[in-house]
Amino acid sequence: MNGHLEAEEQQDQRPEQELTWSWGHRPRSALDRVKAMAPPPPLPLTPSTPLLHGEFGSYPARGPRFALTLTPQALHIQRLRPKPEARPRGGLVLLAEVSGCCTLRSRSPSDSAAYFCIYTYPRGRRGGRRRAARTFRADGAATYEENRAEAQRWATALTCLLRGLPLPGDGEITPDLLPRPPRLLLLVNPFGGRGLAWQWCKNHVLPMISEAGLSFNLIQTERHNHARELVQGLSLSEWDGIVTVSGDGLLYEVLNGLLERPDWEEAVKTPVGILPCGSGNALAGAVNQHGGFEPALGIDLLLNCSLLLCRGGSHPLDLLSVTLASGSRCFSFLSVAWGFVSDVDIQSERFRALGSARFTLGTVLGLATLHTYRGRLSYLPATVEPASPAPAHGLPRAKSELTLAPGPAPPVAHSPLHRSVSDLPLPLPLPQPALTSPGSPEPLPILSLNGGGPELAGDWGGAGDAPLSPDPLLPSPPGSPKAAQLSPITEGASEMPASSGLPPPTPDARVAISAGGPPDHLLPPLGAPLPPGWVTMEGDFVLILAISPSHLGADLVAAPHARFDDGLVHLCWVRGGISRAALLRLFLAMERGSHFSLGCPQLGYAAARAFRLEPLTPRGVLTVDGEQVEYGPLQAQVHPGLGTLLTGPSGCPGREP
């Protein structure tokens, strides 16, 4: 082969050491296997270090020939024949835009070449992403076995780069580096957003994660709190992550369901991810920013987050424990809101068919009927203040004397199981049509899962050439999804604590309540006075917002300096007396995260570790992660890094110098 690197391909799989790090595997036997493998030291790489270089043919075979160079950030493609290009078009494929790759072979027995295909999602001239598949022909050797080995070498190297895995310093790059594909449980709310969640999942998410070589079981939720009940019965050790394909509400159910389990301390470590198909996609907006992508909405945001999921990588996630007036608790990953924000969120529910535009319409209506609410906000300031987005307002110190009798949490009801779609051998009912593995008798014509990536006729069916078929890098190893029978997914009744006979929730309490989780060591009982060191202010407010990540919506950056694991809750408030025009300017500036620079005197901010909110207005709306909860006093504290979020790699995808 000697420089004739001709074909490349592979599934997006990751070595055990990557699984342990990226997908939040608990160390256990995986760590033991990593130590036993004792891989050679990694190569010291710079962004422009050439890792592989060689000449490839194209598919169909009568096309041009190319020189390919693989670096840690990109695949460089230069046409050699029939005529070299002075300024190559499409000659740089950024790895940040690659979902996966695969190796292929011709169905013609006389063709000794091997083929290497990469799947990319570059931005078009108008900014949107479009799928593109590039197939190269490895034909520098006389036999198929030699060409296949070279194609696999390229595919393995590319996959290691996509997964952040070290390449061996002096060892050979072989598919033996690659373990079983990660196993993901996808939970889809088919009614998310404008009711397009299932269509977007089928048309965009499933093809991409198949290109990445990820194994999955997909379940469509059928009712409110279905996901919460479902995760309580999972055998979590069999999954590398739980990914919601919806808005923020479905992930709220998953996290609270995990924290309701008797084994919540281990369960909450299960990596969770989000692929935005809802009307509220705040966490996805923060993930998109963390991954270094430009702000995006709709399908572009979905494709960005799907690309990050395919790359792997997780990050600790702070969770906020919220104690409600009844004494029950729920856990938040996003926000607690009172006033204008919660009013818009709940009152715009009737416009859900508009998708994210419902919030725009709700904001307009909210401005037309702007209300102020009297209340008391107390908080425990952060020990170390982050770089504040604006000069802090001076706040008087006081103590709250409000007393409340805490009440018990409501019981949980369970109902029959859901519909599911899977490429794993799970004993679950499959609706028609169902997605199946390539070995199944009747696979879908569009997707061929776990057999080398999606089999798209337009990719591998050149006119006059024999069509190509997937050529997996490795046979299914013991313990892979095809070799291991996973436990059935059941509802969580058997793992739930027995009902305590507590009274039902109040009529306006629409949120799921968690009974488990860590104790709130920073908070006194809700009716008790606050300890020294707390700051309290009372007055008329247009809104009070307590937010954990940076984004309040996919295009609203409420706390631009916030991080997933900064251990803080970011308190923002707007006092009464602000004009409608000034409030509108704040929200318009929030799209760029520049609202604190407007110098609005009614806008306040504080970083805190815990807070207490006491509405003094008899009527209003409180929300936790966009879900309405019982109205009344509440308090919350941050639990740093309690959860694990699948974020993909951090950084700023860009072109090489």
Q: Where are the beta strands (DSSP E) in 107-222?
A: 114-120, 132-138, 183-188, 215-220
**Paired residues of 217 in beta bridges:** 185, 422
Asked whether the beta carbons of 47 and 72 are under 8 A apart, the reply is yes
Helix axes 282-290, 298-311, angle to 10 degrees: 60
Sequence-separated (6 or more) residues with CB below 8 Å from residue 130? 121, 122, 124
- Type of residue found at 322: V
Nearest Cα to Cα of residue 158 among 216, 99, 217:
99
Q: Is 329 helix (H, G, I), strand (E, B) or coil?
A: strand
Distance (Å, whole) CA 283 – CA 337: 16
- Residue 97 near residue 452 (C-beta atoms within 8 A): no
Q: Are 568 and 562 in contact (CB under 8 A)?
A: yes
Rounded CA-CA distance 422/472 in Å is 20
The span from the CA of 577 to the CA of 539, in Å, is 11
Listed in sequence order, the residues at least 6 apart from 440 whose beta carbon sits closer than 8 Å to its beta carbon are none
Whole-number Cα distances in Å, 194 to 48, 494, 556: 44, 35, 20
Catalytic residue among 12, 240, 248, 625: 248
Distance, C-alpha 32 to centroid of its chain: 28
> Position 218: which residue type?
L
**In 514-621, which residue ranges form alpha helices assigned H by DSSP?**
580-590
- 427: burial class by Cβ within 10 Å (0-12, 13-18, 19+)? exposed
**Residue type at 530?**
L
Place of tokens 């598949």: 133
Nearest by Cα to 161 from 7, 52, 54:
52
Cα-Cα end-to-end distance for the chain = 30
Rounded alpha-carbon distances, angstroms, from residue 41 to 13, 52, 396: 21, 18, 58
What are phi and psi for residue 70, nearest 5 degrees?
-105, 125
The amino acid occupying position 215 is S
What is the distance of C-alpha 636 from the center of its chain?
25
Place of tokens 């926000």: 335
Whole-number Å distance between alpha carbons of 331 and 247:
17
The pair of structure tokens assigned to 367 is 């401005």
What is the torsion angle, in degrees rounded to the nearest 10, for the CA atoms of residue 569, residue 574, residue 580 and residue 582? Answer: -80
Q: Residue 542: which H helix or E strand, with range? A: strand 535-547
566 classed as catalytic = no
> Coil, strand, or helix at residue 351?
helix
Among the listed residues 60, 72, 62, 57, the one whose alpha carbon sits nearest the alpha carbon of residue 6: 57
Which residues, other chains included, contact 142 with Cβ-Cβ below 8 Å and sequence gap of 6+?
A: 112
Which of helix, strand or coil describes residue 36? helix
Q: Which residues are catalytic?
A: 248
